[in-house]
Amino acid sequence: MTSTVERSRRRKNRGPQDLRSEEELVAERRKGRVGLYLIIPGMAVLALFFAAPVMVLLGMSLYARPPGAEIGEFVPALEFGNYATVVGAYWEVFLRSFLFALIATVAALLIGYPMAYLVAVRLRGRQLMQGILLVLLIAPFFSSFILRTQAWKQILSDEGPVVTVLRAIAILPADGHLTATAFAVVCGLTYNFLPFMMLPIYANLDRLDTNLLEASGDLYASPLTTFFKVTLPLSMPGVFAGTLLTFIPAAGDYVNAALLGNNRDTAMIGQIIDSRFFKVVDYPGASALSFILMVLILALVMIYIKRFGTKELF
Amino acid sequence: MSNQNQRELPRDPAVRALIQQAQRMQLSRRRLLAGAGGLGLAAFLAACGTGGTGGNAGNSTAAAVADMSESDKNVFWANWTLYLDYDDEAKNYPTLDEFAKRTGIKTHYAEDIDGNDSYYGKVQAQLAAGQDIGQDIITLTDWMAGRVIRQGFTQELDHANIPNIKNLLTGLQDVDFDPGRKNSLTWQSGYAGIAYNKAKYPKGLRTVSDLWNPDLKGRITVLDEMRDTMGLLMLDNGVDISSGWGDTEFAAATDVLSKQIANGQIRQVKGNSYKEDFISGDAIAGIVWSGDITQMNFENDDQWEFVLPDAGGTLWSDNLMVAVASPRKSNAEKLMDYYYEPEVAAQVAAYVNFISPVQGAKEAMEKIDPELMNNPLIFPSESDLAKAHVFRSLSAEEETNFNSQFQTSIGA
């Protein structure tokens, strides 16, 4: 809400001749075409790079394979059975993908929030330290996604340090291993998407007014109470953006599952789409899976926004 | 083709394709989009759009491409990684330099192919539209070679330009996917068999069933190449994989595979990256490719032993083919001819360690590295070859079904 003073000041800036009311002006602005023209480039980009591919995807997902067809040969049709087939075959994989993505998102939040808090709030004013820490946190992500994941394979390998220690202290059985397990896949997801969690939270906490924390202390709130009653609620837009930016790519990821998973109980939907598209050359099936994935993610995100959403994202 | 086509066209395959299309006055909107090539969206649109026309489009346009080898002294070759003699110090491919010196043709060699399926997925749309993919020679494994030849994605070779074809090993002269070698020529061959770490598993392995020994639980990897893994499993079940088997035999083998994955015996099913698991020690034994083991042993103190199982292993070859719409076919043929000279073939074999398809390469090897003459993985004995079997050709229907079943049983 703008104050009356402010409003009258704004009106003054418009010049003396302009005596129309605020409401009239708003109405005029609504009628104006300028806004419409301004969104044309954005809409064009969306149409070309989002709507068109989605329509192609949707169309392809309904293609049929004529009997005796050559590999990769499909004809336009309305084969809704494609959807039934892939859902029947892969519903468990969808569930698993969302479960893994959810666990990875929660883990990334638990790790990323304290890191963001440390840099943004505790080290406020010490710009050198902040800079160094931020660079250290981001630097690993300058290298390739695949290479980073490969590195985790080495770290978690049977002869590697982690497994050796865990076996020695009997947390892992003597023949136990970490690579090729669901645990490794979730670790990989968490690690690879951590910056997407941390940076929005950091950006948000960086603007946190520390006077509020002091005030909370003056009112006899313990540091813990201050955190839960002041800091956390104020940083919710950052948390909200971070969770979305982590969950969405994690749900569709296939590199982590392919490199760190096994062939029994870690397959994620991205892997299935890849194998249907390239190995089996089932373009309609792969398209149907992609389309379902998109719709499901969209639905989950909508529910999430409705339930927890804040108006201000960043 | 008209004189217009003789004019020099831009090198960029996408632009070139567009111009050629326009010249042919066949410029439908969809083809224009596909001609934009590199753009993923366009390629995808084309992939969908041309799906219905199958391979015929390729055949009709193939004839329309003029060979400009005379004026265009280049040849573009897409191959797999670590598949040509490379000089680490000079940072060049010695045999390619020699070829350039002799013929004046410059070879643009690209390690573009890291899987038959993924490469097919990448270039299929353009090939189906009869466009130049920017590569004159493509190198694909038997079954994929069979697929692209059947779909009309390759050009017929002029054997008159390849006199050295007489050096092709007898066993490879007539293959069922390309009778008379009209469209393809073998690059290298190899086995899929089993291998184990000698220090960690001194008992050794003789058969595929030995991989299921309880003391190897969770330390086995098998290949994600359907024909190799399923071929070995079926051979172990006593099936002759080169002919006469069907759904029942295949299903029996997928049962074995699913069971060993479900009980944790098989740790992972992988492509080329299985090598890293062998080196890191995560895998102690598994189904592997022969040449890899030779190369890994060379770099890691001879740790592994390759075995062709008693019941037999699979024999595969990669094949050189000229892509449809390649405007440099005779350059490509000259290159193929060059690599069929025994001396050149021996030079390649000494580096890549796979089976050379060239008669006389063994004798020529004496001058390069006499020890390799006795390496059975490069120059196999008759008894080894008798144990190596070729996976039979599959119809399009079978291929789709078997691929689907195999992918399902490996959880993907």
Cβ–Cβ contact B271 with A under 8 A = no
* pLDDT, position B58: 39
More confident residue, A15 or A186: A186
pLDDT one-digit tens code per residue, A53-87: 999 999 999 999 998 888 888 999 999 999 999 99
Enumerate the H helices of A61-208 as residue ranges.
Answer: 81-117, 127-138, 145-155, 161-168, 182-205
* pLDDT, position B126: 93
Cβ–Cβ contact A92 with B under 8 A = no
Q: Which of B152, B67, B144, B75 is nearest to B106 (CA)?
A: B75
pLDDT one-digit tens code per residue, A132-142: 999 998 888 88
- Close Cβ partners of A158 (under 8 Å, ≥ 6 residues apart): A177, A179, B219, B280, B281, B282
* pLDDT, position B119: 94
pLDDT of B31 higher than 50: no
The Cα–Cα gap between A49 and A35 comes to 22
Long-range CB contacts (< 8 A, 24+ apart) of A59-64?
A: A59/B48, A60/A283, A60/A284, A60/A287, A60/B48, A61/A284, A61/A287, A61/A288, A61/A290, A61/A291, A62/A284, A63/A283, A63/A284, A63/A287, A63/B48, A63/B51, A64/A284
* pLDDT, position B14: 61
Which value does ipTM take for this structure?
Answer: 0.77
pLDDT of A3 higher than 50: no
The CA-based dihedral angle spanning residues A74, A76, A80, A86, taken in that order and rounded to the nearest 10 degrees? 30
| A153 with B267: Cβ contact below 8 A | no
| A153 with B276: Cβ contact below 8 A | yes
Kindly report the average pLDDT of chain B as a whole number: 86
pLDDT one-digit tens code per residue, B240-293: 999 999 999 999 999 999 999 999 999 999 888 899 899 988 999 999 999 889
pLDDT of B42 higher than 70: no
Interval B167-196 mean pLDDT: 94
Helical pair B226-236 and B247-262, crossing angle rounded to 10 deg: 100
Cβ atoms within 10 A of the Cβ of A33, count? 7
B265: tokens are: 């015996």
Chain B nearest-CA distance from A126, in A, is 43
Fold of B190-314+388-409: D-Maltodextrin-Binding Protein; domain 2 (3.40.190)
- Cβ contacts of B44 on chain A, cutoff 8 Å: 53, 56
| Percent over 90 (pLDDT), chain A | 66
Q: What is the torsional sign of CA B127, B131, B132, B137?
A: positive
Class of domain B3-188+317-380: alpha beta
Predicted structure pTM score: 0.80
For chain A positions 50-89, those within 8 Å of chain B (CB to CB) are: 52-53, 56, 59-60, 63, 65, 68-76, 89
* pLDDT, position A216: 94
* pLDDT, position B53: 38
Cβ–Cβ contact B150 with A under 8 A = yes
| B54 with A69: Cβ contact below 8 A | yes
Interval B371-381 mean pLDDT: 89
Instruction: Find out whether B271 and B80 touch, Cβ atoms under 8 Å.
Output: no
Q: How confident is the model at residue B64 (pLDDT cuts 50, 70, 90)?
A: low
- Cβ contacts of B128 on chain A, cutoff 8 Å: 72
- Strands in B244-297 per DSSP E: 266-270, 285-289
| A262 with B411: Cβ contact below 8 A | yes
The Cα–Cα gap between B406 and A160 comes to 32
Q: How far is CA A10 from CA A18, A26, B146, in A?
A: 11, 14, 76
pLDDT one-digit tens code per residue, A305-314: 888 776 554 4
- Cβ contacts of A72 on chain B, cutoff 8 Å: 51, 54, 124, 128, 151
Which candidate in B220, B230, B280 is best for mutational testing of the A interface (most A CBs within 10 A)?
Answer: B280
B398: tokens are: 């079978």
The label of the residue with tokens 């042993």 reads B297
pLDDT of A288 higher than 70: yes
In this complex, the residue of B41, B54, B410 whose CB is nearest that of residue A263 is B410
Chain A nearest-CA distance from B128, in A, is 10
pLDDT of B236 higher than 50: yes
* pLDDT, position B299: 87
Buried b or exposed e, range B273-290, using 16+ CB within 10 angstroms: ebbbbbbbebbbbbbbbb
pLDDT one-digit tens code per residue, B321-351: 999 999 999 999 999 999 999 999 999 999 9
Which candidate in B141, B219, B268 is best for mutational testing of the A interface (most A CBs within 10 A)?
Answer: B268
Interval A39-65 mean pLDDT: 94
For chain B positions 48-67, those within 8 Å of chain A (CB to CB) are: 48, 51-55
Instruction: Find out whether B346 and B361 touch, Cβ atoms under 8 Å.
Output: yes
Q: Where are the domains of chain B?
A: 3-188+317-380, 190-314+388-409
Interval A255-259 mean pLDDT: 91
Class of domain A80-308: mainly alpha
The label of the residue with tokens 């770290």 reads A155
